[in-house]
Chains A and B, each alone.
Chain A
Amino acid sequence: MHNWEWRLCRDGFGEALLELGEKDERVVMLGADLSESTRALWFKERFPQRFFSLGIAEQNMLSAAAGLALAGLIPFVSSYGVFLSGRAWDQIRTTICYSELNVKMAGAHGGISVGPDGATHQALEDCAIMRVLPHMTLVVPCDYHETRKATLAVANMVGPAYIRYGREKTPVVTAADTPFELGKAYTMRAGDDLTIIANGYMVSQALLAAEELADAGIEARVINMHTLKPLDTAAIEKAARETGAIVTAEEHQLIGGLGAATAEVVVATHPVPVQMVGIQDTFGESGAPEELLEAYGLTAADIVAKARIALQMKTKS
């Protein structure tokens, strides 16, 4: 159907960090024993003086990053999303966000597609618990290019930011020159019958779903909501007004994620049917990524099914 190239989001992160490190001496990195996997190793090898190994101690790492920010540096912290967001949540809340410190967090291994490591390592709640924090900027890029751009973008703003991406290669659905602006949704496909709002890996599935719907004469708008916070509420309201039905798609718990965030805006501005694709209040398990995505309802076919329900509801109302 598509000849998308598949690439690692974390490579985009690692390459952006090298660019940033070259450009700005204030950029430093901290790692908690996962340097190779998170690509922090690339930065460490190029800028050894500016890399700090903190051992398997995420709470100390996040608070030390706060101290480095206070010293005028721009610290990037990377680890697996489960541990970064969960193990150190109070540190992120009270020390970093409450003090509005310039700490940049990169949560790798987000989503169920982490695969064989199983539920312990599949971050499915990270977006919800980061989104709820005042002053936080939260980005869920969809592919290699967007992860690179998101990393550069958060370095350019002052304040706490969290970038979330998966472990596996994902389809490269954007180009190197696709515009990227924090807090500004990007419309990947025009359409007026309904809107699919997705982020992360699910953007590719949304595009596939839109094609399938188009074959049936339904034109779906596809919005890449890469920034979960601050949320582009104008784009959501516009989609509700112009298309009258919305389907959201995310590789995350439905509770507190993109679907919930979208619904919050829709009910407050222009109520229309909203159907959600995502993890349904359950933990994951071991398996191949593609098996898990199918078993937990995170495919283009699942989006199409929800779209049909949303369209039926739209017609009735």
Chain B
Amino acid sequence: MNEVDLNDICREVRCDILRMTAAAGSGHPGGSLSAVELLVGLYCKKLRHRPQEPDWPDRDRFILSKGHIAPALYAVMAHTGYFPREELLTLRKMGSRLQGHPASMRLPGIEVSTGSLGQGLSVGVGLALGAKLQRKQWRTYVLMGDGEIQEGQIWEAAMSAGHYRLDNLCGIVDRNYMQIDGNTEDVMTLDPCADKWRAFNWHVVEIDGHDMEQVAAAYDTAASTVGKPTLIMARTVKGRGVPFMENVAAWHGKAPSEAELAEALAHLAATNQ
């Protein structure tokens, strides 16, 4: 699939995120929209997986450590064939497999339940250690939010991944500079963010997280890096693709109204010319 096609999928995924959260009446569109290219690039291009056989033993593992952007993950999973797209509108509803935060016991294809921030990278460390011990070729990817890496456990995990030289582990930080209370640098300074990971013995790749070519190249770099885990520091825009949501912290955890949904979908349709 070429980058143009992937950008089409990204647009469709954005529309799905908006429809899902609007239908649910709650959810996290802001951070979902900022991670679309990172997820589409991974699921459509890099990840070795079989959506029809979610527990295929040799699959690459993906962990959504920032579990609150479940709508983005579900939309990408539906697009890659894990379940029918119609099911997306059951998000957050009673009895749905699409829980507000990913639940592994409910939905095949979710490796581990997430939603309490800061734990996913450590799970990735365990997976990567387990793969090495058993001489398995599959790789592990963990997507984190930038606000999330204020959690101390992230740095425990970063330390251990560097210590064990886990080159089969790739972390991705969705660096959109926004969290619930505002700009990350006002809430709790993260910069120099990339340097922190380098100091923990990670190979760091800094990219524009909305440029599909850069995203794909970063995943390739991670796969070919030897002796170190790779951290993709992806500069993104929270709410990307919907002008009234972009860089507005309030859209972290708020669903669009019917009117807002229509406006957003119209804008996304207009960009598809």
Contacts and interface: CB of A to CB of B under 8 A. Distances in A.
A159 to B, nearest CB: 12
Contacts of A71: 126-127, 129-131, 133-134, 136
Contacts of B164: 52
A57 B115 contact: no
Interface in A48-105: 49-50, 52, 54-55, 57, 59-60, 62-73, 75, 90-91, 93-95, 98-101
A28 interface: yes
A65 B126 contact: yes
B126 A69 contact: yes
Interface residues of B, number: 35
A71 B116 CA distance: 21
B189 interface: no
A91 B105 contact: no
A60 B130 contact: no
B156 interface: yes
B160 A63 contact: no
A59 B160 CA distance: 12
Given A63-B122, A63-B157, A68 B130 contact: yes
Interface string B132-157: 01101000100000000000110011
Contact of B160 (A55, A66, A68): A55
B128 interface: yes
Contacts of A54: 156, 160
Given A60-B156, A98-B113, A66 B134 contact: no
A63 B127 contact: no
B54 to A, nearest CB: 13
A66 B105 contact: no
Contact of A57 (B114, B116, B118, B160): B160
B11 to A, nearest CB: 33
B125 A99 contact: no
A101 B103 CA distance: 13
A68 B127 contact: yes
Interface of A: 28, 49-50, 52, 54-55, 57, 59-60, 62-73, 75, 90-91, 93-95, 98-101
Given A63-B157, A70-B127, A94-B119, 11 more contacts: A52-B129, A55-B163, A60-B159, A65-B126, A70-B61, A71-B126, A71-B129, A73-B134, A91-B153, A98-B103, A99-B105
23 contacts: A28-B130, A28-B133, A52-B164, A54-B156, A54-B160, A55-B159, A57-B153, A59-B122, A60-B156, A60-B157, A63-B123, A63-B126, A63-B153, A64-B125, A64-B160, A65-B126, A67-B123, A67-B125, A67-B128, A71-B126, A91-B122, A95-B116, A99-B112
